[in-house]
A and B are shown apart, each in its own frame.
Chain A
Amino acid sequence: MGPARDVAVVAFAQSDHRRRTDELSEVEMLMPVLHEVLDRTGLKTSDIGFTCSGSSDYLAGRAFSFTMALDGVGAWPPIAESHVEMDGAWALYEAWVKILTGEADTALVYSYGKSSPGEVRDVLTRQLDPYYLAPLWPDSVALAALQAQALIDAGDTDEPALAAIAARSRDSAAANPHAQVRGSRPQGDYLVRPLRTGDCPPVGDGAAAVILAAGDAARGLCERPAWIRGMDHRIEAHGLGVRDLTDSPSARLAAERAGAFELPHGLKGTGGAPTVDTAELHAPFSSQEVVLRKALRLDGTVRVNPSGGALAANPVMAAGLIRIGEAAAAIHRGESDRALAHATSGPCLQQNLVAVLEGEPS
């Protein structure tokens, strides 16, 4: 059974991601992005049926920081609003469900993260279990490096192949004015072996916003809406030693439930595997793209991360929402007919969200 209503991404905006934004508060960084999606659709904040955001207090080191950011959407008189302490992709999932149930016809989804005030490698250790992992302070690069070595041992990749993924991502980002790291750059030294600087995402600040709308409302707001044909998210065991780090069964299951492996909905007869032409993967580390390509069965015919992906800009809490936004924007521009968008959270691809977006034949 398909979704009860047709829901589409009708607008997407993102900030220019930068290493530091000391001169801006979170809401000051976020506001231009919110105004951009509203301007693009002609909607006012009072027209929006539901607002949902994603961010993390641990990045800024301040409690309830999302309430400050709410000033940027005009939260008085009271609006229907929610927040996830996760990447904005999960906020978008909540908004999608809200529209599917008929409780709203439009939704504003935004997320932001300023990694510059702290040490993001240390900050992310606080999402680990407090009994067996957090007391050892294993940072995000270290955990990704364990996964990378497991892939190398399994013969799934090697260091030159990882370097090629990093180089391709940053070459693609050359055409993306928002990206933080663009064009070729050296792979650099080992940060945590086998991962070199080039295999790891840049640390930076940024924000993104998306507007969702249902049915005819979507057609009125966007020339070629990016219809969400399916979306699902799945999680695996927290303990890294319980999982096969070379695989991502949760990403595969989410993709399956989102319909990524089925024949296109609106383009009957053109299907087959793979059934998407574009994939925006949230793979902050080059090695994670290897895992995701395998789990999602992406072959050489699929354009992967034409935006440059998270290796070119990784504003924590926004990078996943940006994957959905970039996939939708490719459909808006007519560059893609059916795109897969992926977001991740947790160590070593612990949680994965997959959305399948589709444009109507023009």
Chain B
Amino acid sequence: MPEVLSAPLVVEFPFTRSLGPVQSAFLTGLRERTVLGVRTVDGRTLVPPVEYDPATAEELRDLVEVAATGTVTTWAWNPSPRRGQPLERPFAWVLVRLDGADTALLHALDAPGPDAVRTGMRVRVRWAPERVGAITDIACFEPYESEEAGQPAPHTGEFTDPVTGIVAPARLDYTYSPGRAQAGYIEALADRRTVGERCPACRKVYVPPRGACPTCGVATDERVEVGPAGTVTTYCIVNIKAKNLDIEVPYVYAHIALDGADLALHGRIGGIPYDQVRMGLRVEPVWSEGGRHPDHYRPTGEPDADYDTYKELI
């Protein structure tokens, strides 16, 4: 059993969303220290507001302003905050029904400990010093003894320079392990060898191996060394330069059937003008210094392969 391979894998993206009229008004309002809700047809005030009634799906546009004070409807004490959460020290997650609202907003409550939190306690918004039009413009809630204040007041929802979109950065960290078959492939590449696996049922050799024959649905188990040379089965000419890719265009991207393999893999063709690449061209891998896979494939100089020898792999 070879050592299990693993490597860090980070998935990170700016999640960019446009806002509808109601969400735009709400998030712009937060920037201006104003909390807006939306009225339903039956007279309830939803905070945070939504554009369609959760019960009837009716369109909602009737904005109202509610207070920045409210009451905790339920809570949970978080002793170990995780990355991205509103506070770095222990805090309470809370659902807060703001005065004038009929529904509750999820956020964090800054409190010294769980004994200082209870359902029904009075709290108020602590605004972030710099606000951009996002839910994080509310830094958190803080305890605040006060009487419950009044009714929601009508609001146009209009502000100068309204926020029309948000960017919510997302980052997830993984430790990726490729599994048995792919680990064997990667380990062989370290010795500049290419291995596939043979299906016990149909005898086809798959490269790179993924551990299963996609035709028979059984585990592939017999490791087979293939290549190093192979045949171009089909190709395309790339004319657009990809971002961060240090390859001059045009270049040729090809399917290459390595000798002994029953599945073509992908590779770039070099060492030959792009307009002279052809089906049947015999190629071999070129490794760069310290590279963990072939940098590209170049012609071997052999005569072209006969069409019948690779037609099933196109």
Mutual binders A and B: yes
Q: Are A130 and B174 in contact (CB under 8 A)?
A: no
> What is the 8 Å Cβ interface bit string for chain B, positions 1-25, against chain A (1 contact, 0 not)?
1001010010100010101000100
The stretch that binds B, out of A119-127, A312-320, A334-342, is A119-127
> What is the 8 Å Cβ interface bit string for chain B, positions 79-111, against chain A (1 contact, 0 not)?
100111110000001010100000111111000
Chosen A-B contacts, 21 in total, with CB atoms closer than 8 Å, are A27-B179, A31-B211, A70-B214, A72-B217, A74-B215, A75-B214, A119-B172, A131-B23, A135-B84, A138-B85, A142-B76, A142-B93, A146-B74, A153-B74, A192-B78, A192-B79, A193-B77, A239-B103, A240-B95, A241-B106, A245-B74
For A137, give its contact among B19, B85, B218 (CB under 8 Å).
B85
Q: A28-B219, A61-B174, A241-B47 provided; 9 other pairs, C-beta below 8 A?
A: A60-B176, A74-B217, A118-B174, A119-B172, A123-B172, A135-B166, A136-B135, A137-B82, A190-B79
Q: Are A24 and B180 in contact (CB under 8 A)?
A: yes
- Asked, given contacts A121-B82, A126-B170, A193-B114, whether A150 binds B74 with beta carbons under 8 Å apart, the answer is yes
Is B261 an interface residue when CB atoms closer than 8 A count as contact? no
Instruction: State A194–B1 Cα separation when bound (angstroms).
Output: 44
Q: Are B180 and A241 in contact (CB under 8 A)?
A: no
For B135, give its contact among A71, A119, A131 (CB under 8 Å).
A131
Q: What's the minimum C-beta distance from B71 to chain A, rounded to whole angstroms?
A: 12
Q: Are A25 and B93 in contact (CB under 8 A)?
A: no
Q: What's the minimum C-beta distance from B5 to chain A, rounded to whole angstroms?
A: 9
Q: Are B84 and A137 in contact (CB under 8 A)?
A: yes
- Asked, given contacts A28-B219, A242-B103, whether A135 binds B180 with beta carbons under 8 Å apart, the answer is no
Query: Chain B residue with minimal CB distance to A26?
Result: B179
Q: Are B95 and A27 in contact (CB under 8 A)?
A: no
Docked complex: A30-82 residues within 8 A CB-CB of B: 31, 34-35, 45, 58, 60-61, 68, 70-77
Query: Chain A residue with minimal CB distance to B20?
Result: A131
Report chain A residues within 8 Å CB of B17: 130-131
Report chain A residues within 8 Å CB of B177: 22-23, 117
Number of interface residues of B (CB under 8 A): 66
Q: Are A153 and B119 in contact (CB under 8 A)?
A: yes
Q: What's the minimum C-beta distance from B126 to chain A, rounded to whole angstroms?
A: 14
Number of interface residues of A (CB under 8 A): 62
- Asked, given contacts A135-B168, A136-B85, A149-B76, whether A242 binds B136 with beta carbons under 8 Å apart, the answer is no
Q: Are B95 and A146 in contact (CB under 8 A)?
A: yes
Instruction: State A240–B94 Cα separation when bound (angstroms).
Output: 11
Interface-central residue, A34, A131, A150, A241, by most chain B CB under 10 Å: A241
Q: Are A117 and B217 in contact (CB under 8 A)?
A: no
Is A139 an interface residue when CB atoms closer than 8 A count as contact? yes
Is A210 an interface residue when CB atoms closer than 8 A count as contact? no
Query: Chain B residue with minimal CB distance to A73?
Result: B217
Instruction: State A75–B189 Cα separation when bound (angstroms).
Output: 28
Report chain B residues within 8 Å CB of A195: 76
Q: What's the minimum C-beta distance from B47 to chain A, rounded to whole angstroms?
A: 8
Is B48 an interface residue when CB atoms closer than 8 A count as contact? yes
- Asked, given contacts A117-B9, A193-B114, whether A138 binds B54 with beta carbons under 8 Å apart, the answer is no
Instruction: State A357–B170 Cα separation when bound (angstroms).
Output: 41
Is A222 an interface residue when CB atoms closer than 8 A count as contact? no
Is B134 an interface residue when CB atoms closer than 8 A count as contact? yes
Instruction: State A237–B73 Cα separation when bound (angstroms).
Output: 17
Is A291 an interface residue when CB atoms closer than 8 A count as contact? no
Report chain B residues within 8 Å CB of A242: 46, 54, 103
> What is the 8 Å Cβ interface bit string for chain B, positions 224-237, against chain A (1 contact, 0 not)?
00000000000000
Q: Are B176 and A61 in contact (CB under 8 A)?
A: yes
